[in-house]
Amino acid sequence: MKKITLKSFALLAATLSIVACKKKDKTVTEEVKPVATVPVVSEVYTADNTKTFITWDAKKIVGGHQGTINTSNGVLNIKGGKLVGGTFVFDINTITATDVDASKGLEKLNQHLKNEDFFEVTKYPSAGFEITSVKEVAGKSVIAGNLKIKDVKKNIEFPAVVSIANGVATITSDEFTIDRTEFNIKHNSGKFADAAKLGDYLIKDNVGIKVNVVAKK
């Protein structure tokens, strides 16, 4: 029996990864929708930028990285004790991996995430999200909104737990996924490069996202 070469293994792994990615559910993106009309009498809650962030989880053939991106500003609109609107700006310069130690190349990785392979922060220093609707489904709030990353804006939705009490509003979403390539982040994607040649360097297109918001009246 012939031994499987390392190159053959990389090709097999890349192929299986692409198949797996195709089967894995991701958040469906739609065309931009009108922003929710905020009632004049709604209350405004201002996001605490130290506690309002997204977590991201990007996978490769072997391993991957997880991290956070903080907001630079954000507001929630509350009426009758319910979330009715809101807008957020995320500061891409705050992107950082949380699974890498400073002594093991954290700064190098963070700089790579900021360069033209990924977010191009010199050209696109921020990302945005504006709520277009909120509906209750199975005991959770399904939040829809226009997500803008780089030069692309698409409407997405995700389930979350929303809590409003004592002048503090919190949002904790379930993990959902977006296809990074739909927002022009295509580095080492099997859709735009030869997966066999990428081997272990292939990065999966679907990125896991969780939203965490703490806002005060």
Number of domains in the chain: 1
pLDDT of residue 168: 98
What CATH number is given to the structural domain containing 30? Answer: 2.40.128.110
Q: How confident is the model at residue 38 (pLDDT cuts 50, 70, 90)?
A: low
Report if residue 1 sits inside a domain: no
Structural domain range at position 200: 6-216
Q: In angstroms, rounded to a whole number, what is the distance separating the alpha carbons of residues 85 and 39?
A: 9
Mean pLDDT for the chain overall: 88
pLDDT of residue 1: 44
Is pLDDT of 72 > 50?
A: yes
Tell me the per-residue pLDDT of 122-162, one tens digit each, with 9 for 90 and over: 999 999 999 999 999 999 999 999 999 999 999 999 999 99
pLDDT of residue 21: 42
Is pLDDT of 9 > 90?
A: no
pLDDT of residue 27: 73
Q: In angstroms, rounded to a whole number, what is the distance separating the alpha carbons of residues 116 and 187?
A: 9
pLDDT of residue 37: 62
pLDDT of residue 23: 40
- Its pTM stands at 0.83
Mean of pLDDT values over 82-102: 97
Q: Which is more confident, 25 or 204?
A: 204
Report if residue 29 sits inside a domain: yes
pLDDT of residue 31: 78
Q: Which is more confident, 22 or 162?
A: 162
pLDDT of residue 28: 73
pLDDT of residue 188: 95
Which is it for the CA torsion 78, 55, 173, 207, positive or negative? positive
pLDDT of residue 113: 98
Contact assessment for residue 64 and residue 58, using Cβ atoms and an 8 Å cutoff: yes
Report if residue 179 sits inside a domain: yes
Strand residue runs (E) in 20-116: 43-47, 53-59, 64-79, 82-91, 96-97
Mean of pLDDT values over 102-114: 96
pLDDT of residue 195: 81
Nearest Cα neighbor of 10 from 172, 199, 210 is 199
Q: Which is more confident, 57 or 31?
A: 57
Is pLDDT of 78 > 60?
A: yes
